[in-house]
A and B are shown apart, each in its own frame.
Chain A
Amino acid sequence: MTFWNQGKALGRWALRAFSSATRSSRSATPKTVFISQSDDIFANLALEDWLYRHHDFSQHRILLLWRNGPAVVVGRHQNPWKETHVGALHDKQVVLARRNSGGGAVYHDQGNLNLSFLTSREGYNRRTNLTVVANALRREFGLEATVNDRDDLVLNGNYKISGTAAKLGRPNAYHHCTLLADVDLDNMKGILNSDDCGIETKATDSVRSPVCNLSSMHPGLNVASLMGAVGREFLRSDDRGVDLGKSAISRQLGFTLVNPTDDWFPGLEKSRAELASWGWRFGRTPDFTVRREFAVPREMCVTEGAKLQVQMRVVKGRVASMSVTVPPGFVSNAPEGEVAVLSGLEGQKFSEEAVGLVEAAFAKKDKSDKKKRFVAECVRRVVQ
């Protein structure tokens, strides 16, 4: 058998082995730690989803450990434009992903470890999982972490080192969380936005907290050492998070490297493509209205302090309606304060693509190049 085939066979064995493993006398369901070999956020989310949909967790639990290249991951019912400057992500080489679980927006890079605790619906318990993580940090790094009432892990009572979210279905469920090992925090703060962008929506909000890296408290701590620590603690704990001792580890099903591809997990590629699609990442945004005002340069209007207002209604990530309210004298052949409804934009994606159409539409109303560019710039700032 080639090395590659050995790996695949091991993965499949790990998924089947639970059926022959027996429960220990102290209620510890057979457990495996999976480590993903991919750093593609969409492949890893697809892997988590595959296990949730296809695996029988009635007699088995899996801790999936994974990390990604730079990404902003928003919750299932969030508005990405409220959480980050979507237009700026491409230049920063950060991708935007939407996960299937609830909760707020997080930033991932290679210094962040993701943990997914996959169980049956009956086995779902967030606090137990977080207690296991806290125990691992104490045992191997001497760090004291506590679980607060929002189910966040905090260090020294102050700094959040982990965010939690969950998906509950039947028969399965999962709780996943992040761990800030050695993340570029400056990059993260610049990317996770809390500016007032004029968006009115019922989408779920993020709750901001001060954060810190675990490596700042324990130099030398990195994602690899964290994976080992948390994985071992998971394997030596029972279903209530109680430590069964080091010898319990060898009675479990150990660590397995997995590759999120169709070869290993049939049908995963289709799921990955769906998670990476515009329709999922942006089209699933709850409907919203955005309203922003911009100060008009003095030379373009007749009065001081004039404002131009852009308002858009966005449904499923596309412009459903848009209006631009201009100050008196802004549009040469229009009466005061005309509300210019720019048609032809309906159905356009809420993005830079809409800006070009706005420019063209406005040019029909006023010959001034400067004004046309000003209006387009206002719209550009709205869609970012």
Chain B
Amino acid sequence: MVVCSVVVRRLLAAAPAAPRHVFTGLRWVTSTPVKFTDRKYTDKHEWVQVEGKIGTIGITHYAQDALGDVVYAQLPDPGQEFSQMDECGALESVKAASELYCPVSGKIVSKNTEVEDTPGLINKSCYEKGQLLLTAHS
């Protein structure tokens, strides 16, 4: 649990809006089913916001800032299935391809094609227009 608190402190220091719920990739903090929750964050700087069984996924402000200008977004196709923390895509910026990790297990419902057309949306609006994926989590 010491490791957990270190990860939590690091995330809280990095994220602009302090998250109320944080998970370390091992388990959800809230165990009761909820209809709508705030964003949850991973230690790989993705976030997921859950509404019912559908999760919206993106990367954090810290991550987009560290990447620099995103020039290409490679997102998984609808129908593909991933386990939690599988590599599911990549974002390219300044000659570096950064892996995207799927923060929840499930099937991709849709990808944000606007971000594929205009990758800069990820830098400008990583929580709104620059969202990446919708998943139906298992």
Contacts and interface: CB of A to CB of B under 8 A. Distances in A.
B7 interface: no
A164 B97 CA distance: 12
B130 to A, nearest CB: 16
Nearest to B97: A102
Given A170-B44, A202-B117, A165 B71 contact: no
B51 interface: no
A373 B44 CA distance: 55
Nearest to A121: B44
Nearest to A170: B44
B95 A103 contact: yes
Nearest to A78: B72
B99 A169 contact: yes
A359 to B, nearest CB: 33
A367 B108 CA distance: 49
A320 interface: no
Given A76-B90, A202-B117, A203-B72, A168 B95 contact: no
A100 interface: yes
Interface string A144-188: 000000110000000000001111111000000000000000000
Chain A, interface SS category: loop
B117 A166 contact: no
B96 A167 contact: yes
Interface residues of B, number: 18
Given A77-B74, A202-B117, A102 B99 contact: no
A53 to B, nearest CB: 10
Contacts of A102: 72, 92-97
A202 B98 CA distance: 18
B65 interface: no
A323 interface: no
Interface in B36-79: 43-44, 71-72, 74
Interface in B88-110: 90, 92-99, 101
A110 interface: no
B95 A167 contact: no
Given A77-B74, A202-B116, A151 B95 contact: yes
B114 interface: no
A77 B72 contact: yes
A167 B72 contact: no
A76 B74 contact: yes
A87 to B, nearest CB: 26
Contact of A204 (B43, B72, B98): B72
A167 B101 contact: no
A150 B71 CA distance: 14
Interface centre among B87, B97, B101 (most CB of A within 10 A): B97
Given A76-B74, A166-B97, A204 B92 contact: yes
Interface centre among B43, B94, B96, B98 (most CB of A within 10 A): B96
Contacts of B90: 76-77
A150 to B, nearest CB: 8
Given A76-B74, A169-B87, A202-B72, A100 B97 contact: yes
B95 A166 contact: yes
A203 B116 CA distance: 10
A321 interface: no
Nearest to B116: A202
10 contacts: A75-B97, A76-B97, A100-B97, A102-B93, A102-B95, A151-B95, A164-B95, A166-B97, A169-B98, A204-B72
Given A76-B74, A169-B99, 13 more contacts: A76-B92, A76-B97, A77-B72, A77-B97, A100-B97, A102-B94, A151-B95, A165-B96, A165-B97, A167-B97, A169-B87, A170-B101, A286-B74
